Amino acid sequence: MPRRKGNRAPERGHRVAQARRRAGLSQQALAEKIGAGRQSIARIEAGAQSPSVELALAIAAAVGEPVESLFGGGR
């Protein structure tokens, strides 16, 4: 029987939300800073959407954290 990988999107979304808060940004402020919609940020934080590479890099730069720490598989 093949092994199933757990869905790590909610964990990643939680990391993004924590980093955004540490940076002192609201979802709206982060969205404006990177040129995205607030709902996109909300979906990423909820684990309902995975960001494009471009968006992931922009989020990481905006919150001042390495993209690997936000979206990488491990901690």
The CATH number of the domain holding residue 65 is: 1.10.260.40
Token pair of 44 as six digits: 């990423």
Higher pLDDT, residue 25 or 4: 25
Domain residue limits at 37 = 9-69
Token pair of 70 as six digits: 């936000």
Q: Is residue 18 part of a domain?
A: yes
Q: What is the mean pLDDT of the chain?
A: 89
Q: Rounded to an integer, what distance in angstroms lies between the CA atom of residue 24 and that of residue 74? A: 25
Judge residue 44's burial from the number of C-beta atoms within 10 Å of its C-beta, 0-12 exposed, 13-18 middle, 19 or more buried: buried
Higher pLDDT, residue 73 or 71: 71
Mean per-residue pLDDT for 22-42? 98
Which contiguous run of DSSP H or E holds residue 65?
none
Instruction: Identify the pLDDT of residue 73.
Output: 66
Judge residue 29's burial from the number of C-beta atoms within 10 Å of its C-beta, 0-12 exposed, 13-18 middle, 19 or more buried: middle
Q: Is residue 75 part of a domain?
A: no
At residue 72 the predicted structure's pLDDT band, cuts being 50, 70 and 90, is: confident
Number of domains in the chain: 1
